[in-house]
Structure 1
Amino acid sequence: MPSGNTDKRIDRRSWLKALGVGGAAGLAGCSGNQNQNTETSGKGGTETSEPTEESTEAGDSSGRSIGGTYREALSADAKSLNFLFHDDANTTKFVDATMDYAYEFKDIGEIVPMWVESYTEKDKKEWTFTLRDNLRWSDPYGDLTAEDWVYTAQNLYGAKAPGESKTKENWAGVVQYSDWKNLTIEKAGKRKLKVTLPGPQPAFIASTAFWGGRCLPKDLVKGYVEDKDIEGLKQDEELNSLSYTGNLGPYDYEEWQRESRFVATRADDYYLREVAGSEEIPERFAEAPYFEKYELKIIGEESTRLASLKEGDLTYFEDVPSQKVEQFQQMDHLKFRFPPNPFCSMAYYNQRSNGWEMLQRKEVRRALSTAISKKAIAENIYRGFPTVAHTFQPEWSPWYLTDKVEQFGVGDSYGSEKARKMMKEALSDTNYGYDGDKLVDGNGEQVELSFVYRAGSQNNQTVAEFFKQELAKIGIKVAPTNGGPFNTLQNKYMLTSTSDGTPSFNAGPDATSQEPWDLMYGVALNAYPINPDGSRTFWVPDGGFNFYGYEPEAPMADLYDTAQSATDEKTRKEAFAKIFAALSKEQPTNFLNFSVYKNAYDKNYMGMPAEGEFDYLESWDSTSWYLAKQ
C-alpha cells in the first residue's frame, strides 16, 4: 500500500488497484479512493447495462478488434515504478500494465493461473509452484525461471534458504519483507519452486506472497545484492523504467511524465496469447490486450476528472462520487457497474504520543464513536450507497458473525447525551472534565482535536465538517485540516520515525509522524474477505501498517496465529470472530462503512459481465475487454 522503507506490505493490487487512488475492483491493502476513501459492501443505484455478447464467458474473440487508447484519470501520481520500495495504489497500477502476477483470483477459492501454471501442496505446509515455460524477461536476461524467484525471495524479500533458521534483516527495506520473512524457498526444478511454511496455513494460496507476487531477474539485481547497495537498487534505470519486463504483461512502458501522465503501448509478445483457449485462459485472450495504448492521466481536482468523464475523454472512471452518480447515469455515452468494495472507510484515532493522549484509552474512543451518526454519513453524505460498518469485515464476508460484534453510532448506540456520559466516566480519574457544555483540560481550556482529511474529494472534507458538528455536541472542538493529496498525507501524517530511524508506517511504539494529528479520514483499508490473514498488519502492535499506534487489549497476535494455522474451518472462524469482536469493542478506529464501487465506463467499452451482481473480483480478465466502436 503506501510506500517507503516499510517492513510490512499492505497492498498489492488494488485496490485492486487502490491505495487510494486508483484502479479496478479492489483487493489489496489500503486505499485513499478518488472520492472518499473507500467504499464497500452494500448496493446502491440501478444497473445500466444491456445484455450483449460480451457477457464475459463468450468463449471466443468474436466482436473484438485491436485499437484505440484506454484512458483513465487518477487523482495522484505514482511514487515510483520500482515495486521493491513502493506499493501505493498508483505505483501498483502503473506496474500492473507491464507485468502480471503469479496468479489472480476469479472468485473466492478459484484462482486464475498467470505466471504460475499450477501448484500442489502437502499438509498445507509445503507448497510447490510450477511456472509457465513461455515467460521471458527483456534482453539480456532470458527466461523467467525458478532461479530468479528463489534468488529474489532469499536475497531481497527476506525468505530463508533450506537449513536457515534465523530471521533475516530487511537490509534493503523492501515492501515484500513481511510476506516472505518466515518462509523457506528452494528450487525444485528449472520452473519449479518449493515454499515451506513454519506451520500449516490452509489459506496460504490467498496470502500476498504469491497472490500479487512478482520477482526480478537475478542478473539485474545480483550486483546490488552482493554490494548491499540500497541506493543502487532504488536508482537503477531498468528498475525505474520497467525496461526488463519482457513478455510478462499486456503492455510495454513508453513514457511517464511526472504529475501528468503514464503511457504504455500494446506488447508485441504477451505470454497469455500463447495459452488462450486452454482450460483456464479463455480464447478471448488470443489477441489481448485490445487497446493499442494504455494511458493514465494525473488530474488532481475531482471536478476536472469528472469533466473529462462528462466530455467522453475517459474509458473508465473508478468510483464516481455518490452525489454525482444519478447525474452521470443519465449520460448516453456512459454505463455503470456497482461491485461490492472490500475496503473499510474509517476515521483513525491517533494513539501515538503526538496525538491527544486520551485517545490511548479504549473508553474514550468508544465515547467518540458513540457521538458520530454512521447512518447520517452513509445516507446523507454518500447517498445511501454504503452500509454502516461495526468492525473490520463487511457483512457479506463469510467471516462476519453479527452476534459477536458490538455496535456504535447507530440506534441506541448513538447519541450525544450517551456519548457525553461515557466520556465523563472515561475521564473520571484524570484532570479532564466538563465545565458546562465544554470538555476542558486541567487548565480550563476546551479540548480541541485536529481532524486531518485527504485532499481531492469534497466528501472527505464534508465528513470532517460532520465530525466537527457531532463532537461539538459533546463539548469537543474539532479543527478540520486539509492533509493534502495522498502522497503528502502519507509523508506528513502516516509515516512514523524515531529521531534516528528510517520512516515507516510503524517504526515502533515510540515513533511519531512528522506532523501531529488526532483524527484522520480519507484512507481506506482492505478487509481481505477472501483471506483475513492479511489484515494482521493493521491490528497487531508491530503490524507494518499500524501507523495510528494501536495497542490491543485482546491477544491479537495469538488470535491471528490461531486463525492462520487452523486446519479446520470452525477453529479458523472462531478465531476471526474473536478478532473482529475485539476490534468492535476496542474501537482502534471508528469503523464507518463499506460501500460499493460506483464505476463508470464508456458505453462502447465491452467485455465485462453484462448482467447480474458483480463480484469485487470482476476485473480479473480486464485485459480482454475492448472498445466496440473506435
Structure 2
Amino acid sequence: GGGGGEVEVPDFPRFGVGDLYGSEVARNLAREAFEESEYDYGFDGDVMVNPEGDQVEIDIYHSAASETNQLLAEFIAQELENNLGISVTPEAIDGTRFSNEYYSGDPEGGTDTVNGEEVEWSNPGPRNPGPRSVTSNEAWDMSVNFGLNTYPLNPLTNQTFFDGANANFNPVGYYPQFDVESLFEQARQATSRDEIRQAFVDIFANLAREQPYIMLTLGDDIIGYNPDLTGPIENFSNGWDLPAWHIDDPSVSGSYDTVTGASFNTLNPLYNNESGAGTAIERAIDPGYTFDENQEYFPLLYDMSTEDGEVWTFELRDNLQFSEPYGQVTAEDF
C-alpha cells in the first residue's frame, strides 16, 4: 500500500460474493472436482455422498479457548451443509495439542510430480513433512485453529505458507499450480514499491483462483472493537502492531491489563510454542524496534541498516542496561 503508480490487476474469482456464492456455484465446483478424482463421489439429491453412497461426514476443529473461533467453525459447518450437503461436526481442541498432534507430522521428505515435474522435499519439517503421501500424526479434515496473515508488514513472509515443497508451513499438502517461486523472487529483487506491489498482485490473484485455504477476507481498515481503543493510526490494523494500541492515555507507571487468545506456560521465547504467549512476551521483553504514527521504522534497542538488502548491520544504542546486577547490554549478548 501507500501510493505509487498503477499496477495491473488481473481478473480473478471472488468466491463467496455475488454470483460466486450459493449452492449452485458450490455444487458445480464440486462436480468439476469429482471429474478429476479417482474416487466416485457425487450428489444424491441435496446430499453429497461418498463412493459407498453415504453422506459425506467431516470434522472441523476449533480452539476450545475461543468462543469466536467456535462460532466461526459453526458458521462454516452450516454453510457447507446448506450449500453442499456435507455433514460437518465442530470439535473443540486445545490449540497446543492441535499444533503438536494434528498440524504436525514426522519429517519424511520424498518426491512427487507437480505440474508435470518431479519436485523433491529436500528440507522437510514438522509443518511440511513431505508430499501428500506423508500425513500428520493425527487425521483431521478442517480446522480454524490457525489463521494466515496474508498482509503482514513484510509481505515476503507469505512465502512460508504458499511455496509448496519449500514452504515452512504446508500441513494441507498444497502444490501451487503457478510459478510462485519466481514471483517471490521477483518481489525480492524489486527496486520500487510498484514492482513489489505488482508481484504480489500476481501472487494473490493466483491464490484466489486456486484457494489452497478457505480465504476469509478481513479489511485492513476495520475500526477497533472498543471505541476507546487508540493507536498510531485512525483505524485498527490487522494485528502486527498490536503493542502500539491501548485504551485511553498510556501511562508510564501503574498496572496494565491485556488479554491473550489462549493460555500459555512460559514467557521464555526460546521454549515457547504456544500462540497465546506472544502478547505477554511482547510486554515482558523489549523489542529491537517499533513503528511510529506514520508506520515508519523506529529503532529502540538498535538501529538497522543495509546496502544491498542481504547483509544487515545492527548498531546498539549507547548505554543500554540490563536490570541489576547484569550491567550494560553489549553486542555479544545477542
The TM-score with structure 2 as length reference comes to: 0.59
Q: Relative to 1, partners in 2 of residues 1:476 and 1:398: Cα closer, same or farther, differing over 3 Å?
A: farther
- Structure 2 residue aligned with 1:287: none
Distance 1:561 1:472 in 2: 41
Between 1 and 2, higher relative CO (CA 8 Å, sep ≥ 6) is seen in: 1
The answer on whether the counterparts of 1:538 and 1:545 sit within 8 Å (CA) in structure 2 is: yes
Partner SS for 2:148 = strand
Matching residue of 1:146: none
Could you tell me how far apart the structure 2 residues matched to 1:628 and 1:571 are? 45
- The equivalent residue for 1:126 is none
Q: Is the 8 A contact 1:397 1:529 kept in 2?
A: no
Match of 1:526 among 114, 139, 149: 149
Other-structure match for 2:99:
490
CA contact (8 A) 1:452 1:519 kept: yes
- CA distance in structure 1 between the aligned counterparts of 2:46 and 2:244, rounded to whole angstroms: 54
SS of the residue corresponding to residue 594 of structure 1 reads coil
Provide closer, same or farther for how the CA distance between residues 538 and 438 of structure 1 changes in structure 2, counting only shifts above 3 A. Answer: same
Write the letter of the residue equivalent to 2:155. Answer: P
Separation (CA, whole Å) in 2 of partners of 1:495 and 1:416: 33
Q: Which residue of 2 aligns with 1:447?
A: 56
8 Å CA contact 2:57, 2:86 repeated in 1: yes
Alpha-carbon offset, residue 402 of structure 1: 6.2
Q: Distance in 1 between matches of 2:35 and 2:60?
A: 25
Distance 2:5 2:69 in 1: 30
The alignment status of 1:480 with 2:102, answered yes or no, reads no
Give the match for residue 47 of structure 2: 438
Structure 1 SS opposite 2:215: strand
CA–CA separation in structure 1 for the residues paired with 2:144 and 2:130: 22
Say if 2:69 is the partner of 1:460.
yes
Structure 1 residues 127-181: Cα deviation after superposition (integer angstroms, max 9, x where no partner) = xxxxxxxxxxxxxxxxxxxxxxxxxxxxxxxxxxxxxxxxxxxxxxxxxxxxxxx
By how many angstroms is 1:398 displaced? 10
1:512 aligned to 128, 135, 155, which one?
135
Structure 1 residues 612, 465: closer, same or farther in 2, change over 3 A? closer
Q: What is the deviation of 1:554?
A: 0.8
Distance (Å, rounded) in 2 between the aligned partners of 1:465 and 1:571: 41
* Equivalence map 1:82-161=2 (5 Å): none
CA distance in 2, matches of 1:407, 1:398: 24
Shift of 1:553: 0.1
Partner amino acid, structure 2, of 1:440? V
Distance 2:152 2:217 in 1: 15
Preserved CA contact (<8 Å) 1:451 1:518? yes
For 2:233 and 2:202, the matched residues in 1 are separated by 37
Alpha-carbon distance, 1:425 to partner: 2.7
Q: CA deviation at 1:496?
A: 2.0
CA distance in 2, matches of 1:470, 1:627: 48
Report how many residues are paired: 231
CA gap 1:397/1:417 in 2 versus in 1, 3 angstroms: farther
Given the alignment of the two structures, is residue 568 of structure 1 paired with residue 192 of structure 2, yes or no? Answer: yes
SS of the counterpart of 1:453?
Answer: strand
> Is 1:422–2:29 an aligned residue pair?
yes
Q: 1:363-395 CA distances to partner (integer Å, 9 max, x unpaired)?
A: xxxxxxxxxxxxxxxxxxxxxxxxxxxxxxxxx
CA distance in 1, matches of 2:223, 2:30: 36
C-alpha distance in 1, partners of 2:197/2:153? 13
**538 and 481 in structure 1: CA distance in 2 versus 1, 3 angstrom threshold:** same
The AA in structure 2 aligned to 1:428 is E
Cα distance per residue 1:17-65 (max 9 Å; x no partner): xxxxxxxxxxxxxxxxxxxxxxxxxxxxxxxxxxxxxxxxxxxxxxxxx
CA distance in 2, matches of 1:617, 1:445: 48
Secondary structure, counterpart of 2:72 in structure 1: helix
Gap regions ≥5 residues in structure 2? 110-122, 256-334
> What is the rounded CA distance, in whole Å, between the counterparts of 1:585 and 1:397 in structure 2?
26
Q: State the Cα deviation string for residues 111-138 of structure 1 (Å, max 9, x = none).
A: xxxxxxxxxxxxxxxxxxxxxxxxxxxx
Amino acid at match of 1:518: D
1:519 aligned partner, one-letter code = M
Distance in 1 separating the partners of 2:68 and 2:245: 31
Shift in Å, 1:514: 1.6
Aligned to 1:62: none
Cα distance 1:481–1:568, how it changes in 2: closer, same or farther (>3 A)? same
Query: Which segments of 5 or more consecutive residues in structure 1 lack a partner in the other structure?
Result: 1-107, 110-395
| Deviation, structure 1 residue 610 | 8.8
1:550 has 2:159 as partner = no
Give the Cα–Cα distance (whole angstroms) in 2 for the partners of residues 590 and 495 of structure 1. 19
Instruction: Indicate conservation of the 8 Å contact 2:125/2:168, yes or no.
Output: no
Cα offsets for 1:568-622 (capped at 9, x unmatched): 3343222211101001000001111326474669x8x9xx659844566374598
Output one character per residue of 1:446-476: Cα deviation in whole Å (capped at 9) or x when no partner: 2112211122112222222222222122221
1:479 partner amino acid? T
Report what 1:32 is aligned to. Answer: none
User: Aligned-pair distance for 1:493?
Assistant: 1.5
Q: Distance in 2 between matches of 1:441 and 1:611?
A: 51
**1:599-614 residue pairs with structure 2 within 5 A?**
609=231, 612-613=234-235
Identity %: 33
Give matches, 1:188-207, under 5 Å: none
Pairing 1:617–2:241 present: yes
Summarize the alignment of residues 117-266 of structure 1 with structure 2, pairs less than 5 Å apart.
none
Instruction: Check the 8 A contact 2:59/2:141 in 1, yes or no.
Output: yes
Q: In structure 2, do the counterparts of structure 1 residues 453 and 410 end up closer, same or farther at CA, with 3 Å as the change threshold?
A: same
